[in-house]
């Protein structure tokens, strides 16, 4: 090899080493944040979602999604008889149909307070014995 070729290879190796060092200094949190924003961008542009997409979008398990589709509770499509698809607009409408009203929230709050006070009373009784 000629001296010129060796020098050129040496410069390339140095350049690659610098690139590797830069990659090592990348913060994984920043990378994860960028990936999350890309995933969000994908969901905002997709109109038709598959099972995996819907599980992530609704933050539910696959088994719960199967139960919702089998019972007909959630709107879905089966164009070929096996694969299940969902229209994003219909999912949003379905979510909004299941809104908890103020009375239900009030009842839930009262029930939670009642449960907490019962636990407190039981704890006091146990301490006294």
Give the model confidence (pLDDT) of 29-54 as tens digits.
Answer: 888 888 888 877 776 678 999 999 89
- Within a domain: 70: yes
> Which residues form the domain of 53?
45-98
- Within a domain: 58: yes
- Within a domain: 71: yes
- Within a domain: 112: no
> Has this prediction a pTM greater than 0.75?
no
Tokens 């019972």 locate to 71
Instruction: Please list, residue by residue across 49-84, b when 16 or more beta carbons sit within 10 angstroms of its beta carbon and e when fewer do.
Output: bebebbbebbeeeeeebeebbeeeebebeeeeeeeb
Question: If you ran DSSP here, which 8-state letter would residue 26 be given?
Answer: S
- Mean pLDDT by runs of 10 across the 129 residues of the chain is 79 88 78 82 80 90 94 92 92 86 68 68 64
- Within a domain: 23: no
- Within a domain: 78: yes
Q: What is the pLDDT of residue 26?
A: 73
Q: What is the pLDDT of residue 50?
A: 92
Which CATH number fits the domain that encloses residue 56? 1.10.10
Question: Domains in the chain: how many in total?
Answer: 1
């Amino acid at each position: 090899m000629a001296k010129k070729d060796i020098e050129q290879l040496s410069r390339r190796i140095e350049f690659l080493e610098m690139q590797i060092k830069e990659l090592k200094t990348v913060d994984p949190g920043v990378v994860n944040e960028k990936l999350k924003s890309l995933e969000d961008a994908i969901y905002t542009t997709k109109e038709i979602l598959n099972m995996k997409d819907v599980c992530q979008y609704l933050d539910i398990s696959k088994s719960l999604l199967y139960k919702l589709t089998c019972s007909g509770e959630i709107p879905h499509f089966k164009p070929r008889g096996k694969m299940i698809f969902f229209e994003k607009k219909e999912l949003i409408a379905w979510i909004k149909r299941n809104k908890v009203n103020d009375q239900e929230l009030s009842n839930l709050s009262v029930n939670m307070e009642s449960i907490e006070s019962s636990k407190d009373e039981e704890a006091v009784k146990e301490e006294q014995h």
